[in-house]
Every structure is written in C-alpha cells, then in structure tokens.
C-alpha cells in the first residue's frame, strides 16, 4: 500500500468514518456545492448583466459601481469560495477512501485538491491573482483526471 493510502486510513480511522458514510458525505458536500455554484452563477448571469446594462444606459457613477461590485463579490464567494471549497472537501474525502488508485493519478488529485483549497482561500481573501493562478493549475489537472477516469470506465 502506498503512503497516501496508509495515511488516509489512519486519518479516517481516527474520525471513524466507514466508506459508505464518506461517499454519502462527499456526495452531499458536492450537492450543496452545486447549489452554491448555481446560485453564484445565476447572480452573475442574471443580476450583474441586468445591473451592467442599466448602469451603461444611465451613465455609471461611483455609487452605482459599489452595488455592482458588492453583487460580484457575493457571486465570487458563492462559486469560487463555498462551492469550490465543498467540491474540494468532497473530492478529497473520496480520494482518501480510494486507496487503489495509481500513484500518478493520486498525485494529480492531490494537486487538484491543493489548488482547489488555494482557490477557495484566494476567493475568501478576494485575491484575484490567486484565484487565476490556482485555476490555471487546477483545471488542467482536473481535466486530466476526468480523461483518465473516462478511459478507465470505457474499458470496464
């Protein structure tokens, strides 16, 4: 067994979570994350677009801009903050319980979840460059993982 698997079992043994509970928790975390994600994206698509259209038609003032920035900040906290954080925790829990993954896949997943946590913290701290940098690493790793998983399922 690789070091990640041994460490994972030790951590979850302390927590006392059987695999079924971990899977249920991960799915529930992802579901709540999806609600946050859809809520934040809805704010971006519906509210911010409407506000931008209205502001451009009326002529933009500093007071109007602050309201726009406030809604954008809420959308960022919902998507890059809450949703991404919940996806990251759920994915990490599943990775910890899936001990028979190839080492290169596990390392890619560790990178994915590390960047996911980094993006969440960057969103909370309103660090736009941090969100961009973590996204630039996170999504190629996540895409590589989904391609690997798709290839695996195709041969099952």
92-140 pLDDT per residue, tens? 998 888 888 889 889 999 999 999 999 999 999 999 999 999 999 999 9
* 3-state SS assignment for residue 117: helix
* Most confident stretch, 4-13, 47-56, 77-86: 77-86
pLDDT at 14 exceeding the cut of 50: no
Statement: residue 16 has pLDDT above 90:
no
Q: What is the pLDDT of residue 62?
A: 58
Residue 13 pLDDT exceeds 70: no
Structural domain count, the chain: 1
Cα separation, 121 vs 130, whole angstroms: 9
Residue of 145, 86, 82 whose CA lies nearest to 112? 145
From residue 132, alpha-carbon distances to 19, 120, 127, 138, 143 in Å are 34, 11, 9, 10, 17
Per-residue tokens: 5: 């698997």
Containing structural domain, residue 41: 3-154
Question: What are the residue ranges of helices labelled H in the chain?
Answer: 3-15, 19-42, 49-58, 62-76, 84-97, 103-124, 128-154
């Amino acid at each position: 067994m690789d070091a990640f698997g041994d460490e994972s079992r030790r951590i979850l043994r302390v927590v006392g979570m059987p695999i079924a509970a971990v899977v249920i928790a991960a799915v529930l975390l992802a579901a709540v994350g999806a609600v946050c994600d859809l809520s934040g994206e809805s704010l971006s698509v519906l509210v911010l677009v409407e506000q931008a259209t209205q502001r451009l038609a009326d002529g933009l003032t500093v007071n109007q801009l602050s309201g726009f920035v406030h809604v954008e900040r809420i959308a960022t906290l919902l998507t890059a903050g809450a949703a991404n954080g919940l996806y990251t925790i759920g994915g990490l829990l599943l990775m910890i319980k899936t001990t028979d993954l190839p080492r290169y896949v596990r390392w890619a997943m560790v990178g994915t979840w590390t960047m996911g946590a980094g993006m969440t913290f960057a969103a909370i701290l309103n660090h736009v460059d941090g969100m961009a940098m973590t996204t630039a690493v996170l999504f190629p790793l996540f895409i590589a993982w989904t391609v690997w998983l798709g290839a695996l399922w195709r041969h099952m």
